[in-house]
Amino acid sequence: MRLNIFNIAIASQFERFADQTESFVIGRATMSKQNGLWSHGFLLGRDTVIGTTDSINEYQLKSYLESSKVKGFKEYPSTPGGSGWLFSIFSSVSPLTPASTLSAFRWLISAISATVLVLIIQGLGLTFGRLSLVSSGLGLLFSPMITVAGGHIYWMFGVFLLPMIPILLLINAGTEKINRALLLSSIAFFFKCILTGFELITSSLLAPIVMLAFVLKLNGFRKDLIGKKLFLLFVGMGSALILTIAVLTVQISMVRGSYRDGIVHFIDRLETRTIGSRIPEQIWSNSPIDEGSTALEVVTYYGSNLQALTLFSLKKYQLFGVRYRTIFILYFSASIVGFLFTNAKLNVLISIGWLSFLAPISWLVIFKAHALIHPQLDVLVWFLPTLFFVYASFGAILGQFVKRLKNKKRSNTRAREEEGFETLEP
């Protein structure tokens, strides 16, 4: 995630991934250094006065590295901008040069994402065996999207997954402290909203709920209790979402003068990302998906045209890639085989895995307009949380095969030993 050391992602994609949103974070740090963290409603943004030879993204990076004075600042009011707060504070306390500070911050974000990923695959691996842990780890290691987004200072993909951790830890710790886990998950969801805004919000909201259903089902909770706990988590995260909207409304009012402006902007962005009513024609023309595509066609595109795994990439091309569609077809086949083993835990894993598709599909359907023009970003929804269940299932099912073969071998060995003992009797 920090160096693309295995060349999983195309070099140009790794170097330029979402550099516009990253420039907003860098711009916030530059403005914070000049006028303080609270300036311009502590919103993300960037300098509006750029050089003639640089792109605005390159200019903003150069401005930060050279500690140049910000001549004009345009806010990006679609997110509270917590990523910018974090980087601004980090920059203010860092004794390093701006270039080294930025590099160190990327290392920090990569380490946070890696830690969250490890906790998830460890939680599943401790329950479903080493092969499950290995298959999950390999699925993440060879994912080009995890590679480019995990250490990105705006997307910080580990933050998207953070609300699942308190719930996942209940798998092996028991459910006595489930209410505390629900509270911690709701708080983590609030931090996700503050740090990364409303990106992939429906999937981010449903992912911990799906994980909770998985943990409770695995622990044998009654259906009525599962329903109550799911409702409590939904209320907790819903409250966190409302609080985030309130924070952003106050921020926008600090810049534009009234709370009404903040609410109007939120509604405007909601309409833009769902029905696309205010998206310029030029942006539609650059979309790889046709503007008139149905929700089903959008979901199909996200499964059929994008790479889930890449074993190696050159500078401009991916080699030995596997599309998401292929992964899902294999999962369908493996699920049929897995159900035949009649293992209760494995059946729960596979069943919830299929249920988890509701989380990514919710974003692709509800926020179809955003998905139409940003497939290079929104494809991350497949990890909220579907692919974790899919990859874990592959290893768990393979583990069942191995276990059965070992048991069969032991039975044959025991039978031969008993047969040999009988021939020795007088």
Q: What pLDDT digit, counting tens, does each position of 16-64 carry?
A: 899 899 999 999 999 999 999 889 999 999 888 765 556 778 888 888 9
SS (H, E, C) the chain: CCCCCCCCCCHHHHHHCCHHHHHHHHHHHHHHHHHCCCHHHHCEEEECCCCCCCCHHHHHHHHHHCCCCCCCEEEECCCCCHHHHHHHHHHHHCCCCHHHHHHHHHHHHHHHHHHHHHHHHHHHHHHHCHHHHHHHHHHHHCCHHHHHHCCCCCCCHHHHHHHHHHHHCHHHHCCCCHHHHHHHHHHHHHHHHHHHCCCCHHHHHHHHHHHHHHHHHHCCCCHHHHHHHHHHHHHHHHHHHHHHHHHHHHHHHHHHCCHHHHHHHHHHHHHHHHCCCCCCHHHHHCCCCCCCCCHHHHHHHHHHCCEEEEEEECCCCEEEEEEHHHHHHHHHHHHHHHHHCCCHHHHHHHHHHHHCCHHHHHHHHHCHHHHHHCHHHHHHHHHCCHHHHHHHHHHHHHHHHHHHHHHHHHHHHHHHHHHHHHHHCC
For the cut 60, the answer to whether the pLDDT of residue 405 exceeds it is yes
Could you give the CA distance from residue 2 to residue 10 in angstroms, rounded to a whole number? 14
**Residue 417: per-residue pLDDT:** 63
Distance CA 409, CA 144 (A): 40
Q: Is the pLDDT of residue 424 over 70?
A: no
Average pLDDT over every residue of 94-123: 96
Mean pLDDT of all residues belonging to the chain? 89
Let me know: does 165 contact 192? Beta carbons within 8 Å.
no
Q: According to the model, what pLDDT value does residue 425 have?
A: 54
Query: What pLDDT, on the 0 to 100 scale, is given for residue 225?
Result: 86
**pLDDT level of residue 392 (50, 70, 90 thresholds):** very high
pLDDT at position 259:
87
User: Looking at residue 410, what is its pLDDT?
Assistant: 72
Q: Distance between CA atoms of 360 and 15, rounded to whole angstroms? A: 26
pTM of the model: 0.91
User: Phi-psi bin for 413: left (phi > 0), alpha (psi -120 to 50), beta?
Assistant: alpha
pLDDT of 51 reads 56
pLDDT in the model for residue 383: 97
Q: How many CB atoms lie within 10 A of CB 100?
A: 11
Rg (CA), the chain: 24
The share of the chain scoring above pLDDT 90, in percent, equals 60
Neighbouring CB atoms inside 10 A of 102's CB total: 23
pLDDT at 121: 93
256 vs 56, higher pLDDT: 256
Of residues 86 and 409, the one with the higher pLDDT is: 86
pLDDT tens sequence across 192-233: 999 999 999 999 999 999 999 999 998 888 888 889 999 999
Give 388's pLDDT tier (boundaries 50, 70, 90).
Answer: very high
pLDDT of residue 381: 97
> Are residues 288 and 374 in contact, defined by beta-carbon separation less than 8 angstroms?
no
Over residues 135-166, the pLDDT tens digits come to 999 999 999 999 999 999 999 999 999 999 99
Residues 6+ apart with CB under 8 A from 360: 203, 381, 382, 384, 386
Distance CA 250, CA 259 (A): 6
- What pLDDT score does 418 carry? 62
The reported pLDDT for the residue numbered 242 is 95
Give the pLDDT confidence of 308-337 residue by residue, as tens digits: 999 877 766 677 889 999 999 999 999 998
365-380: pLDDT as tens digits: 999 999 999 998 999 9
Percent of the chain with pLDDT over 70: 93
